[in-house]
Amino acid sequence: MIYRQDTIAAIATAPGNGGIGIIRMSGPDAGRILSGIFVPAGQAENPPESHRMVYGRIADGEETVDECMAVFMRAPRSYTREDVAEIQIHGGSFVVNRVLELCLKQGARLAEAGEFTRRAFLNGRVDLSRAEAVMELINARGEQAHKAAVRQLSGGASSFIHVFSDKLADLQAGLAACIDYPEEISDEEGAGALKEGLENLVSRLESAIDEHASRLIHQGLQIALIGRPNVGKSSLLNALLGEERAIVTNIPGTTRDTVQGEMTVRGVRVTLTDTAGIHETDDPVEKIGVERSEKARKEADASLLILDGSEPMTDTDRELISRFSGKGAVVINKTDLPQVLREEDIRGILPDAECITVCANDPESLKPLVRYLEQFAEVSDQLALTQPRHLDAARRALAHMKDALKTLDSFTPDVAATDLQAAQAALGEITGENADEKLLDRVFSRFCVGK
């Protein structure tokens, strides 16, 4: 594995102006470079004593570039397990870039995306799944995503994989015994015990691969609001979001394109898509809008078919109800007005329809609808594997284990042994025990520079 032992530097804070900007360096020359540009106030050592924040200034020759706080962390007690220096200056983008340039001039190399964390991994401070959790935590956009990242960062995925792969190793040892001592262990006897153990592991791994939960955590829930024009789709979107996101008028056809907004339900990010009212039209713009409504409905995890409770059912309503497939509920809106639409009429067309009544003008009336959405947002907070990359590796491991089960049936233990080896290798990709340069490039390219 290529590991360049040079000193890297990067801006660790987000681009743009901010209260504080941080420049970070890691590598054998971090201390030397820091002392080349840092002038501590008073009599402090330079580079400063390890793990001590020291006030001073950054100087370019005689010129003062900024006031700063600097800290030097001697290896191995640092994020990367190398010598690390961090400089906190005022967070203007010009000054931050200027200090970075000074570090580069003194011999540092500009870090690549995720290179600090990659070094932490290569130096054995964290395994791959914990290294990835750093980025998951930075990218978390909801409570559930945050919780999953913290679990992963504290070793949730790693310990699950370690325990699991130890059990798999026990089975591999048993299998090796069957292969090596065929006269002592009969095929039926050996394969029988192994099969039971393997079936057990297969079902454990199967329940750990929860695609739906992983999608909820990483992409959130997609909900489409559909219906004919003027039933109150945009009003409902605004009411759920608690803001005037979409234009609402009493003119049918107000919404011509999809409009999205985000809310949080049970810590899961929910994207609501308001759509153009579905109706027969020759208007080319409206036609595209209607097509987009259909697309939003198909792509959503669930849809809400909105009806106007104060009006009799129209042909379009009837058609939409009869075509309403997949997950979702029929929402009867405008309950503040005299009601002419009856739930029985809806169930006459769609017997199992889940009907919810609301008034978009009354936030209190939305509670049953929000409770309905909550059932789609349930995520166990015990999940060990939540990241798509981990699920992909676990799925491959599972497939190899199932292949091994089949080959055990046909008493070919040596083939099963190869399958179990492949399963172990796939699991090793999760923790990084089995990670090549390409895999690491793929993982760390998702990181930001400076992390």
Ligand X SMILES: Nc1nc2c(ncn2[C@@H]2O[C@H](COP(=O)(O)OP(=O)(O)OP(=O)(O)O)[C@@H](O)[C@H]2O)c(=O)[nH]1
**Residues making contact with ligand X (CB under 6 A):** 227, 229-235, 248-250, 252-255, 276-277, 333-334, 336-337, 359-361
List residues bridging with 181 in a β-sheet.
none
Between residue 222 and residue 241, which ones bind Mg ion under the rule CB under 5 A? 233-234
Among ligand X, Mg ion, none, what does residue 235 contact (CB within 5–8 Å per kind)? ligand X
- Residue closer to ligand X (CB basis): 123 or 314: 314
Pairwise CA distance, residues 403 & 399, whole Å: 6
Query: In the chain, what are the helix, strand and coil shares in percent, each to the nearest 5?
Result: 45, 20, 35
Binding to Mg ion in span 292-351, by CB under 5 A? none
- Cα-based distances in Å from 207 to 146, 202, 217, 368: 22, 9, 17, 31
Nearest to 152 by CA among 448, 388, 401, 450: 388
Indicate which of Mg ion, ligand X, none lies near residue 232 (CB less than 5 to 8 Å, by partner kind).
ligand X
Q: Using the minimum distance from each CB to Mg ion, give the nearer residue, 178 or 263.
A: 263
Q: Residue 339 CB, nearest distance to ligand X (Å)?
A: 11
Residue 255 binding Mg ion, by CB under 5 A: yes
> 203 and 277 in contact (C-beta within 8 Å)?
no
Least distance between Mg ion and beta carbon 161 (Å)? 48
Instruction: Using the minimum distance from each CB to ligand X, give the nearer residue, 170 or 257.
Output: 257
Q: What is the DSSP string of 26-60?
A: ESTTHHHHHHHHEEESTT--SSPSTT--EEEEEEE
| Residue 248 or 394 having the CB closest to ligand X | 248
Q: Which does 187 bind (CB under 5 to 8 A by kind): Mg ion, ligand X, none?
A: none
Q: How far is the CB of 122 from ligand X (least distance, A)?
A: 54
Q: Whole-number minimum distance, CB 319 to Mg ion, in Å?
A: 19
For ligand X, the closer of residues 113 and 225 by Cβ is 225
- Report the partner that residue 303 touches, choosing among Mg ion, ligand X, none (CB closer than 5 to 8 A by kind): none
Kindly tell me which of 154 and 249 has the beta carbon lying closer to ligand X.
Answer: 249
Q: In the bound complex, which residue of the shown chain has the CB atom lying closest to ligand X?
A: 277
d(C-alpha 179, C-alpha 415), whole Å: 10
Q: Which one-letter DSSP state was computed for residue 242?
A: T
Please, is 243 exposed, middle or buried when counting C-beta atoms within 10 Å of its C-beta (0-12, 13-18, 19+)? exposed
Count interface residues toward Mg ion (CB under 5 A).
4
End-to-end CA distance of the chain: 20
